[in-house]
């Protein structure tokens, strides 16, 4: 089905054309000039919308000025003395146009200018003393000008009320959109929490079930290694491999249990910058020859209520991931790890925001939604529990963590931790 194109002339424009055509067919002293001026007014009215759309600021000013000029010309050609012309209401056209497009003060200014243009027809007769203006004439002139101002103010009041209503609707729409985004984030967090809880229970059960036979295997392997080490070196070496792999499995199970077991937080007011510095030192000690440049951007922030050991695990894990990603880059000597700390608020709570930005390859778009899920990893030798444990620790601290969708290269993590209550 073909889409119907919107007509450039609306029914409202057609109605204005008909009204101006009615004025054009009525008899006047200078018929040709009157009809020509009314035609120009019709053209200006039709193209007023496109003009203002193209030049939002100056277009409105041009529109009112042109209408004042055309109104003055129309009166000049429709009466022996323009001020006595029966077409004087044409000045309502620029007056009401200004009331629609401008605020109250600007509307008053434009109405005053229109009134002065109307009164300008008195200048030449008064100078030449062809006419005298009596009390009745002054009263009539004042009534007409006051009606200009009255109509302008009434229309402008309606327009301003409508603009305020539109602004309230717009603000309400933005709040609803923000609320909807927060609701979507809350639903996503709830789904993730449900998955974490289910996987945590599964991990805990499996870990306990696996740990018991591993203990038996390890004990048996150590006994075999002791008995066979002298007589059969190869069998003893194989038993040693069994014992080493059992230790690795035990370490993996310990990580599962860290993820699964409920956290017992030892909460105290902590300085986030000190925890980050210790985490950096810990990672740098493991990579002493790293070419990655570290930038610290610390602002004055309040203390956070946190478990020092668990918070350190958050930053060690994120910094370690950033180092590993950048060290794998062929341009590792140009890589930068930027850590920014600043005061922030979230959900009506004050706290501290920590931004960890690296210039590595970043996280693939298809992995962004799953990066905090347990057992999801992009590393060949990864288990997929590092960021899941980080997210769990942040949740236990009533904070938030997110991976920002930034156009800059690299990964950009944002962590929010609530501030510690102030001491009374």
Residue 98 confidence (pLDDT): 92
Please check whether residues 36 and 95 belong to one and the same domain: yes
Give, for 140, the enclosing helix (H) or strand (E): helix 135-231
The answer to the question of residue 164 being in a domain is: no
Residue closest to 71 by CA, chosen among 103, 21, 118: 118
Please check whether residues 15 and 113 belong to one and the same domain: yes
The answer to the question of residue 409 being in a domain is: yes
How many domains in the chain? 3
Residue 420 confidence (pLDDT): 85
Measured CA distances, 46 to 9, 13, 51, 56, 60 (Å): 7, 6, 10, 16, 14
The answer to the question of residue 19 being in a domain is: yes
**Which runs of E-coded beta strand occur in 3-64?**
none
What CATH number is given to the structural domain containing 399? 3.30.565.10
Residue 4 confidence (pLDDT): 47
Q: Looking at 242, 260, 278, which one is the last position of a domain?
A: 260
Please check whether residues 298 and 363 belong to one and the same domain: yes
Please check whether residues 275 and 405 belong to one and the same domain: yes
Please work out, in degrees rounded to the nearest 5, the angle formed at the alpha carbon of residue 203 by the alpha carbons of 197 and 206: 140
Residue 291 confidence (pLDDT): 78
Q: What is the pTM of this model?
A: 0.50
Please check whether residues 75 and 215 belong to one and the same domain: no
Please check whether residues 384 and 358 belong to one and the same domain: yes
Residue 112 confidence (pLDDT): 94
Please check whether residues 92 and 114 belong to one and the same domain: yes
Please check whether residues 250 and 290 belong to one and the same domain: no
Please check whether residues 300 and 363 belong to one and the same domain: yes
The answer to the question of residue 73 being in a domain is: yes
Please check whether residues 385 and 332 belong to one and the same domain: yes
The answer to the question of residue 159 being in a domain is: no
Show the domain range for 389: 267-418
Query: pLDDT below 50 — which residues of the chain?
Result: 1-5
Query: What six digits make up the tokens of 50?
Result: 């496109």
Residue 2 confidence (pLDDT): 42
Measured CA distances, 37 to 50, 220, 249 (Å): 21, 109, 93
């Amino acid at each position: 089905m073909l889409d119907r194109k919107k007509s450039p002339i609306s029914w409202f424009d057609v109605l204005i054309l008909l009204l101006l055509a009615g004025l054009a067919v009525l008899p006047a002293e200078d018929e040709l000039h009157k009809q020509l001026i009314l035609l120009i007014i019709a053209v200006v009215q039709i193209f007023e919308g496109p003009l203002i759309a193209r030049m939002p600021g100056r277009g409105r000013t041009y529109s009112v000025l042109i209408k004042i000029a055309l109104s003055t010309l129309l009166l000049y050609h429709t009466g022996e003395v323009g001020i006595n012309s029966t077409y004087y209401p044409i000045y309502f056209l620029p007056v009401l146009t200004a009331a629609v497009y401008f605020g109250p003060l600007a509307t008053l200014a434009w109405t005053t200018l229109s009134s002065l243009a109307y009164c300008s027809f008195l200048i030449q007769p008064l100078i030449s003393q062809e006419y005298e203006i009596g009390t009745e004439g002054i009263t009539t002139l004042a009534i007409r000008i006051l009606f200009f101002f009255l109509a302008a103010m009434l229309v402008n009041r309606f327009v301003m009320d409508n603009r305020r209503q539109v602004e309230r609707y717009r603000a309400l729409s933005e709040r609803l959109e923000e609320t909807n985004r927060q609701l979507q984030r809350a639903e996503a967090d709830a789904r993730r929490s449900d998955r974490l809880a289910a996987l945590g229970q599964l991990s805990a059960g499996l870990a306990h079930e696996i740990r018991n036979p591993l203990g038996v295997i390890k004990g048996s392997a150590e006994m075999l290694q002791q008995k066979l080490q002298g007589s059969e070196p190869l069998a003893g070496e194989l038993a040693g491999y069994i014992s080493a792999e059992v230790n690795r499995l035990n370490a993996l199970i310990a990580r599962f249990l860290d993820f699964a077991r409920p956290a017992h937080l030892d909460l105290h007011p902590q300085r986030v910058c000190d925890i980050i510095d210790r985490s950096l030192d810990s990672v740098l000690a493991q990579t002493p020859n790293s070419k990655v440049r570290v930038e610290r951007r610390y602002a004055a922030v309040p203390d956070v209520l946190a478990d020092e050991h668990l918070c350190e695990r958050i930053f060690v894990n994120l910094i370690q991931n950033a180092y590993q990603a950048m060290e794998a880059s062929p341009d590792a000597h140009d890589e930068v790890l930027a850590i920014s700390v600043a005061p922030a608020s979230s959900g009506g709570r004050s706290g501290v925001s920590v931004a960890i930005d690296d210039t590595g390859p970043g996280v693939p778009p298809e992995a962004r939604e799953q990066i905090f899920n347990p057992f999801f990893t992009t590393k060949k030798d990864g288990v997929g529990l590092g960021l899941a444990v980080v997210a769990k620790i942040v949740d236990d601290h009533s904070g938030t963590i997110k991976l920002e969708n930034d156009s800059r290269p690299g990964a950009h993590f944002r962590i929010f931790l609530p501030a510690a209550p102030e001491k009374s």
